[in-house]
A and B are shown apart, each in its own frame.
Chain A
């Protein structure tokens, strides 16, 4: 069930990525739907699921982007594992907390990718600070919206179930 949910999330991320590139054009690097999928998959604290989710989503992102294959794979693996580890240590109940976690993860992901690029291909250009800031903000915002939406959905479902149960009695 968990892998199915992750697979569906990854498919949605691919579709959103392609649509975002078509609509936003050169602004599309500001959004990373694959990282959002990795984080939602890792946020319940399962280390192996976080790690493998990071590998799968990262390599998918690499397949759709250019340059060194495995750059996003490496960064998202680290992010998936460390987010799952962080979720084991701290309990996040508010959407603002999720937003902060997602933003921090996006910042660490960018730092990892920049670091790897500097080591492996030193002559390559680096992203602009506004570009990185936009990515961090957008990933955080998607985390906030996703977490709040999931909360509303779960509560709504629970209300519907309890009222149905009452009616049946």
Chain B
């Protein structure tokens, strides 16, 4: 191929890639492309293999424990089990009381489906975007499916490729979560901030916010269920004339991700969501 022909090929390839890029610009509500799905399907098995090998090596090191260490760990686990049993009895009583109250006011809470465990195959600490790739097995995952850990909310599924799924983390600059301050129930929008932190927007200056307040998902965005911890407030400053400038640390330690939970959460149908934009 001559230099001139290769130049035309370059122009064609770049134009095709620009079309691919601009088709994704709307951002959060973007459709996944076939090329992206297939790339993820091809690359993820290698990432999974390397991850499994390094995990295996780490487990060999962890497996070498002395008897004294095992006895100590056993004692700690026993104490923890007793503590959890006490908490379980306490929450069992509370749950019964809550159910009776719900029945009294004819309130039917939204149903939450089963939780599924998925292995983390790869974490990306990119400057602009933060994602992770999961191995979800043959049962797959669905787009917009919420992902969490036992500590709190992690993000949502944005690409599904067979047994693999790509998750956009809540700390991603392009991600946003309908959130509320647990103590006061004041709602706002949590977004990814600089250096892996979170920011909470649209909380008016009159609202009561304190450092240390826990922020949970509000269940108003049609993606995430209500009440999952998102982060904790670390600073509150007057941002502009109307709103606070709130910074938070994420509830989940992103450096220790090993296994995560895929939440089965019934989102409102598109036909109903679309009605909010309709003319009266």
Contacts and interface: CB of A to CB of B under 8 A. Distances in A.
A116 B47 contact: no
Contact of A64 (B20, B25, B27, B133): B133
B54 A19 contact: yes
A91 interface: no
Interface string A88-117: 000000000000000000000000000011
A51 B7 CA distance: 10
A65 B35 contact: no
Contacts of B124: 21, 64-66
B: contact size bracket: 35 or more
Interface stretch (B36-44, B66-74, B90-98, B230-238): B36-44
B131 A65 contact: yes
A134 to B, nearest CB: 11
Contacts of A25: 125, 255
Interface in A126-142: 126-128, 131
A28 B36 CA distance: 22
B186 interface: no
B21 A26 contact: no
Interface in A45-103: 47-48, 51, 55, 59-60, 62-71, 73-74, 77-78, 81
Contacts of A14: 43, 46-47, 50
B10 A63 contact: no
B133 to A, nearest CB: 7
A168 interface: no
Which of A69, A78, A131 neighbours the largest number of chain B CB atoms within 10 Å of its CB? A69
A143 B27 CA distance: 35
Interface string A1-42: 000000000010011001101100110110000000000000
Interface in B37-64: 39-40, 42-44, 46-47, 50-51, 54
B20 A69 contact: yes
Contact of A121 (B3, B13, B174): B174
Nearest to B124: A65
A138 to B, nearest CB: 15
A125 interface: yes
B47 A18 contact: yes
A124 interface: yes
Nearest to A23: B54
28 contacts: A11-B46, A15-B50, A18-B122, A25-B125, A28-B125, A29-B127, A48-B1, A51-B9, A51-B10, A59-B35, A62-B39, A63-B36, A63-B39, A63-B40, A63-B42, A63-B44, A64-B43, A64-B133, A66-B129, A66-B169, A66-B172, A70-B24, A70-B35, A74-B18, A81-B10, A121-B25, A125-B128, A127-B128
Interface of A: 11, 14-15, 18-19, 21-22, 25-26, 28-29, 47-48, 51, 55, 59-60, 62-71, 73-74, 77-78, 81, 116-117, 120-121, 124-128, 131
Give the top 9 A-B pairs by smallest Cβ distance, nearest first. A66-B131, A66-B129, A67-B129, A63-B39, A127-B127, A47-B6, A69-B36, A18-B50, A63-B43
